[in-house]
Amino acid sequence: MNYREMRARLIASYGNFLFFPDDPEVPKLIETRAFTHLVMEDGEIRVYAHPTMKEDLEEIEENYEIVYGEPNLKEEYFVSPNTRIRNLTSKYKNGERILQKAMRKPFPEEVEIIINLGQIIQRAMGEFFSELRIGMKAREIKALLECSLLREGAEGFLYPTIVAIGKDSRKMFPKEEDVKLEEGSILLVDASPMLQGYPLNFSRVILTEERREWIDALHKINEMYDKMASMVKSGTSCTFLDSIIREVYDFPHYSVIPAGGFYMPYAPSSCVLEENMVFTVVPSIYLEEGVIKVKRNVLVEKDSMKFLD
Q: What are phi and psi for residue 204, nearest 5 degrees? A: -140, 155
pLDDT (tens digit, 9 = 90+) per residue, 223-278? 999 999 999 999 999 999 999 999 999 898 999 999 999 999 999 999 999 999 99
pTM of the model: 0.93
pLDDT at residue number 91: 80
Residue 171 has pLDDT above 90, yes or no: no
How many angstroms separate the Cα of 127 from the Cα of each of 113, 115, 131, 150, 152?
21, 19, 7, 11, 9
pLDDT (tens digit, 9 = 90+) per residue, 46-98? 999 999 999 999 989 999 999 999 998 878 899 999 888 766 667 888 999 99
Rounded to the nearest integer, the mean pLDDT of the chain is: 94
pLDDT (tens digit, 9 = 90+) per residue, 194-218? 999 999 999 999 999 999 999 999 9
Taking the C-alpha atoms of 163, 169, 173 and 179 in order, what is their torsion angle to the nearest 10 degrees? -60
Confidence band of 170 (pLDDT split at 50, 70, 90): confident
Query: What's the mean pLDDT in 144-158?
Result: 98
Asked whether the beta carbons of 105 and 274 are under 8 A apart, the reply is yes
pLDDT at residue number 153: 98
pLDDT at residue number 161: 96
Q: What percent of the chain has pLDDT over 90?
A: 88
Residue 298 has pLDDT above 70, yes or no: yes
- Options 3.30.1360.10, 2.60.98.20, 3.90.230.10, 3.30.420.40; CATH for 108-307 is 3.90.230.10
Asked whether the beta carbons of 193 and 159 are under 8 A apart, the reply is no
Cis peptide before 268 (omega within 30 of 0): yes
Say how far apart CA 140 and CA 155 lie, in whole Å. Answer: 20
How many angstroms separate the Cα of 290 from the Cα of each of 207, 286, 293?
10, 6, 10
Query: What's the mean pLDDT in 175-180?
Result: 82
Say how far apart CA 226 and CA 228 lie, in whole Å. Answer: 5
How many Å is the Cα radius of gyration of the chain? 21
Cis peptide before 265 (omega within 30 of 0): yes
pLDDT at residue number 86: 67
Residues 6+ apart with CB under 8 A from 97: none
The ranges of the chain annotated as CATH 3.90.230.10 are 108-307
- The torsion region of residue 94 among left (phi > 0), alpha (psi -120 to 50) and beta comes to beta
Say if domain 3-102 classifies as CATH 3.40.190.10.
no
The ranges of the chain annotated as CATH 3.40.350.10 are 3-102
Residue 23 has pLDDT above 70, yes or no: yes
The full DSSP string for the chain is --HHHHHHHHHHTTS-EEE-TT-TTGGGT-S----SEEEEETTEEEEEE-GGGHHHHTT-SS--EEEES-----SEEEE-TTS-GGG--SEEEE-HHHHHHHTSS--HHHHHHHHHHHHHHHHHHHHHHHH--TT-BHHHHHHHHHHHHHHTT--EESS--EEEEGGGGGSSS---TTPBP-TT-EEEEEE-EEETTEE--EEEEEESS--HHHHHHHHHHHHHHHHHHTT-STT-BHHHHHHHHTTS---SS-SEEE-TT-----BSSS-B--TT-EEEE--EEEETTEEEE--EEEEE-SS-EEE--
